[in-house]
Each structure stands twice: as C-alpha cells, then as structure tokens.
Amino acid sequence: MTAQRPAHGFAHIHAAGRDLRIELGWVNDAAPADAPLIVFLHEGLGSLAMWKDFPQQLCEAAGARGLVYSRPGYGRSTPRPHGERWGPDFMHVQAQQVLPALLDALGVQAPYWLFGHSDGGSIALIHAAGFGQRVAGAVVMAPHILVEEFGLASIREARRAYVEGELRARLGKYHDDVDSAFWGWNGIWLDAEFPRWTIQALLPTIACPVLAIQGVDDPYGTMAQIDGIAQAAPQTQLLKLPDCGHSPHRDQPEAVTAATRAFIQRHSTETTR
C-alpha cells in the first residue's frame, strides 16, 4: 500500500473465474503505517456507502486504519450477471476467493482485523478459518452460522417489501444495479437448498480471537448464532445488546465501538508480549 492511494476508488481483480471491478475506500489513512488495519465486510444488502460514517468513527476511536469495499453484485462493484443465481457456497466464494484476491491486489500485509456484519460476519468467520495466519482477530455482528426459520420469515418479508413496498427505492440509492444486489441475496437465502447451509464445522479451526455481537431484538437470528460460535471457537467473547436489532452499529454504535476498541487493544497487546 502506498501513501498516495486515493481515499476512494476501484481495484480490478480476477477471482471466482471472472474479472471484477471492486469499489473500495480507505478510512483514517492518516493513521500511522503500523496502526491496525480493519477490513469491513458489509451485510447481505449492504455496500461501501451503506456503512456511512461508522467505519471512520470506529477507526478513529480504535486508532486504526480501515478498508471498506462493496462485494461483487453490490454498490458500484461489478454487478451480478443477468440470470446468474448464486449457489449455497456464495459466502465461501467471497471469503476464500474474492477477499484474498482483493487484499493481495492491494498489497495488504498480515495481520489484519475483520469487521463483518450479517452475511459479512459469516464471510469473516469463513475467512478466519481458512487464513488463520493472516487474521489478527474478527469482530462479527449478527453473523449466521446456520439457517433458522426465524430468520427466513424476515427474509420473506423483505421480498414483499421490495416487490410491493419502498425497499427497492431505498436500496437504489446505494447500488448501481439494485436488482443485482437484492435478488442475489434474497434468491439464495430463500432457495429450497439453503436451509441445510451451515459453517459450524469450520468454527473449531478458527485460531484468532473473535468478538461476536448480537442484538436481543434481531429479526434475522437468535442468540443461537453467537452462542454456537462461543461453544466451538474457544477465543470468543460475546456481546449481547438489549434494545438492538439486526444492525448493532446503527442501534448501539457507542457500545459496539467501545467493545471493538477494547477487543483490538487487548489482543494487539497480547500478540506483542
């Protein structure tokens, strides 16, 4: 990485059998070169822009630098090809192929920290399981480790809101191809094969520390998601937030920021002893 890199721009990579344009942004890049780097992984309908100013606020509080990007199919990145349906392994593809290719293209040096929300949290866990020597730690908010009928009901409701309500118009502000973003996510989550999806078998192989955060009022998942992480991955710390839904960084930003700052500082100190 060079000191002259633009705050926002694009990377061009080859991953998952395709040439891809990836929208990205650097956060708090004025921090020292040896400051921790946090890689932000957005939710299933998210993008770089949908994080708004949270990455900047978190990185300033934690004394860290940040990399934020839109996955293929989202934001201003390469859209999903017309008619393409993602498979049940779509998060594995992002974690094991797209993210490593992006980090290598940008010259990102290990170790780095992951901060993932929802699908992005699952991608963070899958990446940490497969690239353990490169990941300093992972913060995962509302991650999925298995499929719950409880969450599928909310995803069906999202489909109704997109087709019949105002969700498509709201999301259209953040995605060049809003149908690419929505139907890629919604189509696979409501596919008849997807209820069997799980990453539970990967969790015991995660060697880095994990901070798993869940809102008590999350309509997309129960505490079974983060409790399952703690049962399988021994270095897991849990944060269960009251009065909080599926987006802890929006519903409880101060609590998420404080916990993340303490988590990074503690484990950064431990690795330098």
Bridge partners for 2 per DSSP: none
At 150, the pLDDT band (50, 70, 90 cuts) reads very high
Q: Is the confidence at residue 272, as pLDDT, over 90?
A: no
Contact 209, 128 (CB under 8 A): no
Mean predicted confidence (pLDDT) in 41-61: 98
The amino acid sitting at 149 is E
The pLDDT value recorded for residue 269 is 75
pLDDT digits (tens, 9 = 90+) for 10-38: 999 999 999 999 999 999 988 998 999 99
Domains and CATH numbers, the chain: 8-268 (3.40.50.1820)
Dump strand ranges (E) for 127-247.
135-141, 210-215, 236-241
Task: State the chain's mean pLDDT as an integer.
Answer: 95
The pLDDT value recorded for residue 6 is 67
With a pLDDT cut of 70, the percent of the chain lying above it is 96
The pLDDT value recorded for residue 3 is 44
Contacts 24+ apart (CB under 8 A), 28-35: 28/56, 28/59, 28/60, 28/64, 28/65, 28/66, 29/5, 29/65, 31/59, 31/63, 31/64, 31/65, 35/63, 35/64, 35/65
The pLDDT value recorded for residue 270 is 65
The pLDDT value recorded for residue 7 is 82
Residue with tokens 């989550």: 189
The pLDDT value recorded for residue 86 is 96
Rounded-to-integer distance, Cα 216 and Cα 31, Å: 34
pLDDT digits (tens, 9 = 90+) for 92-123: 999 999 999 999 999 999 999 999 999 999 99
